């Protein structure tokens, strides 16, 4: 091979140097580009990782929230089921109560009807009792008057004249009505008058006689001291010598008796008369 051309050799060397410079520059640019690109990729990756971590955190929070909501929903479902059971139980109890209420209303209506019937019977009975009370009003007053003298001779005589115990009973009222109160009182005044000279009439007996006479439709006949004795209207049972007008009444030991609408005496009063 012929000797190389020095110019050509220099040119080749220059070309190689320039090519090496281009390659070096290209490698530097490529490294810079790779470095820049790698840095950007790392930033993007870091951002993506951060975003992923954030998304994962949110997903985890969402899952926890979903689990909490699911738990609460389950609790609500259980509570709802319990409330439904209670509702069904209450509805059944209410239905039973309605049935019992209807039965109670029916029973109450029957009781009301019975009560009304009883009230009607009681009103009818009350009317009869009032009628009987009205029929025996005078007999009740007569018994009340004489029982006020219980323990006295007058009361004992009244029981003997009636023939039974003198007391506030329907049987006693019936016996007096059958006997007639005015006739019974006349017998009592006569019988008590037979003992009046030995056992003077007490204030209690006089009051009882006055009330009994009023209830029997009678009037007692009292004779005032100083009245002239008249055998046609009085009965002399004793005499006393006192400084008084002869044949004038000194004391009325036992009052007489007459019917309220009658002028004549049924029983004459018993009196003590003055003598000379």
Which domains, and CATH codes, for the chain? 110-215 (no CATH), 217-276 (2.30.22.10)
Q: Tell me the torsion sign for CA atoms 20, 25, 28, 31.
A: negative
Instruction: Assign 4 a pLDDT band (cuts: 50, 70, 90).
Output: low
Nearest to 166 by CA among 149, 191, 186: 149
Looking at the predicted structure, is the pLDDT value of residue 157 above 80?
Answer: yes
| Alpha carbon distance 32, 76 (integer Å) | 63
DSSP 2: P
Looking at the predicted structure, is the pLDDT value of residue 133 above 70?
Answer: no
User: pLDDT per residue over 55-75, tens digit each?
Assistant: 888 878 888 888 888 888 888
| Alpha carbon distance 170, 140 (integer Å) | 9
Instruction: Assign 1 a pLDDT band (cuts: 50, 70, 90).
Output: very low
Of 16-30, 152-166, 188-202, the range with the lowest mean pLDDT is: 16-30
pLDDT value of position 122 = 77
Can you say how many angstroms the Cα of residue 114 is from the centroid of all Cα atoms in its chain?
A: 21
Percent pLDDT > 90 in the chain is 45
| Alpha carbon distance 274, 137 (integer Å) | 43
User: pLDDT per residue over 207-248, tens digit each?
Assistant: 999 999 999 999 999 999 999 999 999 999 999 988 778 899
Do 198 and 225 form a contact (C-beta atoms < 8 A)?
Answer: no
Structure tokens at 45: 């990756």
Do 242 and 207 form a contact (C-beta atoms < 8 A)?
Answer: no
Do 201 and 254 form a contact (C-beta atoms < 8 A)?
Answer: yes
């Amino acid at each position: 091979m012929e000797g190389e051309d020095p110019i050509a050799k220099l040119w080749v060397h220059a070309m190689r140097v320039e090519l090496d410079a281009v390659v070096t520059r290209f490698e530097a640019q490529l490294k810079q580009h790779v470095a820049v690109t790698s840095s950007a990729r790392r930033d993007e990756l870091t951002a993506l990782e951060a975003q992923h971590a954030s998304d994962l955190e949110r997903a985890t929070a969402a899952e926890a929230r979903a689990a909490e909501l699911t738990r609460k929903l389950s609790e609500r479902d259980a509570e709802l089921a319990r409330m439904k059971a209670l509702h069904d139980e209450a509805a059944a109890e209410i239905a039973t109560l309605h049935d019992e209420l209807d039965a109670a209303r029916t029973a109450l209506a029957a009781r009301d009807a019975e009560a009304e019937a009883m009230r009607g019977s009681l009103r009818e009975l009350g009317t009869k009792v009032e009628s009987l009370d009205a029929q025996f009003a005078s007999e009740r007053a007569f018994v009340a008057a004489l029982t006020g003298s219980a323990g006295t001779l007058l009361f004992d005589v009244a029981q003997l004249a009636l023939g039974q115990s003198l007391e506030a009973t329907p049987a006693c009222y019936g016996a007096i009505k059958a006997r007639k109160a005015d006739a019974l009182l006349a017998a009592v005044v006569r019988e008590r008058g037979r003992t009046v000279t030995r056992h003077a009439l007490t204030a209690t007996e006089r009051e009882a006689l006055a009330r009994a006479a009023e209830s029997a439709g009678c009037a007692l006949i009292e004779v005032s001291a100083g009245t002239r004795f008249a055998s046609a209207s009085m009965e002399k049972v004793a005499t006393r010598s006192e400084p008084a007008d002869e044949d004038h009444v000194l004391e009325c030991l036992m009052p007489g008796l007459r019917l309220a609408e009658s002028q004549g005496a049924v029983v004459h009063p018993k009196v003590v008369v003055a003598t000379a």
